[in-house]
């Protein structure tokens, strides 16, 4: 009898978050055993509830700023981590909050220093391939509307600005990955993920799209935090996950890669579209500009298209409809009403 081949093991930090939970789902479908690590600072157990009974999925409630040993968790014994190791680490854990940025300021700082060092030390131990979910924040403010951020652009970031714990933290996280690669020879990947939307987006935290939908369903005003000219780029979550998986699977480290949509969307236009799609009587009104809500620049995605044969495939209308359906079906659970 031939020996049964063990399934590869992947660890996803921030796995109970918005994007992380979809990534866990995709990895399970692809035949992985998945270790999901999260401390629920901005993630939620409902995002991973469908997988908790899957024998190939194990959740660890853990703050990554504190060193931890996977082999010390008895619930991971069926995964045989001590003997099989961890083949891939997807590092998505970082508090990402707009309205509650001040609440998470210290943990945001620490996760880009202590936290990533703990994860990279684990990668060295198991000779794991590591992917960092980074951000276009490394580029700094939006360029002109006609220009796109290429991966070669070094960015202009004020290291003492109001959001510097996050923005400079993402830059330092990328530097950490690159340094560990050069010193210890581990395989690394960097994904710069632009504004993402879809089911499981946080509510009431300034991300706007999810709040627009909830307000439209409740026949309440949709509040735009900014002026009528506020623009954004939007990419659906499954397209982001597809890009992450393709980047990790690529045989070579091709450096940082942008994953986003290179089309500008007027936020007022998106709000109007949501009102129409939900058949709501709501109106769009303008509220105070949120201190930590920034107008994000547009990505140049030629590198992802050419090297990974990736491009976003979900139309805005289709992605919004899936998000509307999710919030409508889970409204009581999401809001506690």
**Catalytic residue annotation:** 166
| Contact yes or no for 48/15 (Cβ under 8 A) | yes
Q: 217: which 2 tokens?
A: 């369903």
Give me the residues paired with residue 91 across strands.
13, 132
Residue 289 tokens read as 């500009």
Could you give the CA distance from residue 234 to residue 290 in angstroms, rounded to a whole number?
19
What distance lies between CA 142 and its chain's CA centroid?
20
Cα dihedral 198/202/205/211 (nearest 10): 50
Write phi, then psi, for 228 (nearest 5 degrees).
-70, -15
133 — alpha (psi -120 to 50), left (phi > 0) or beta?
beta
Give the whole-angstrom CA distance, residue 216 versus residue 220.
6
| Alpha helix stretches (DSSP H) within the chain | 18-29, 81-84, 105-110, 116-126, 164-184, 209-217, 237-249, 267-278, 302-308, 316-329, 331-335
Report CA dihedral (143, 145, 241, 94) to the nearest 10 degrees: 40
Give the separation between CA 191 and CA 214, rounded to whole angstroms: 30
Q: Give, to the nearest 10 degrees, the angle between helix 316-329 and helix 267-278.
A: 60
Q: Is 73 helix (H, G, I), strand (E, B) or coil?
A: coil
254/178 Cα distance (integer angstroms):
12
Nearest CA among 32, 63, 45 for reference residue 249 = 32
């Amino acid at each position: 009898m031939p020996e049964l081949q063990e399934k590869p093991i992947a660890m996803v930090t921030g796995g109970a978050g918005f994007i992380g939970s979809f990534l866990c789902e995709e990895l399970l479908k692809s035949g992985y055993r998945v270790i999901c690590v999260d401390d629920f600072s901005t993630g939620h157990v409902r995002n991973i509830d469908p997988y908790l009974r899957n024998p190939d999925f194990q959740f660890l409630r853990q703050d990554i700023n504190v060193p931890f040993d996977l082999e010390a968790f008895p619930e991971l014994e069926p995964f045989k981590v001590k003997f099989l190791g961890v083949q891939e680490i997807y590092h998505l854990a970082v508090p990402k909050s707009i309205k509650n940025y001040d609440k998470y300021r210290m943990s945001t700082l620490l996760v880009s220093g202590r936290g990533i060092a703990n994860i990279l030390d684990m990668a060295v131990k198991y000779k794991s391939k590591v992917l960092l979910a980074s951000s276009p924040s490394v580029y700094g403010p939006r360029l002109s509307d006609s220009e796109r951020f290429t991966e070669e652009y070094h960015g202009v970031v004020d290291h003492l600005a109001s959001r510097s714990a996050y923005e400079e933290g993402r830059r330092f996280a990328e530097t950490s990955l690159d340094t560990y690669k050069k010193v210890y020879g581990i395989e690394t990947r960097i994904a710069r993920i632009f504004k993402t939307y879809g089911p499981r987006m946080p509510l009431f935290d300034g991300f706007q799209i999810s709040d627009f939908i909830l307000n439209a369903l409740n026949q309440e005003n949709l509040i735009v935090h900014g002026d009528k000219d506020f623009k954004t780029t939007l990419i659906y979550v499954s397209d982001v996950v597809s890009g992450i998986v393709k980047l990790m699977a690529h045989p070579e480290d091709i450096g940082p890669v942008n994953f986003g949509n290179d089309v500008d969307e007027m936020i007022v236009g998106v709000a109007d579209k949501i009102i129409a799609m939900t058949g709501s009587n709501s109106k769009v009104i303008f509220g105070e500009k949120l201190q930590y809500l920034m107008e994000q620049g547009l990505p140049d995605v030629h590198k992802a298209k050419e090297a990974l044969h990736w491009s976003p495939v979900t139309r805005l209308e289709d992605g919004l409809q899936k998000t509307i359906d999710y919030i409508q079906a889970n409204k009581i659970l999401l809001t506690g009403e």
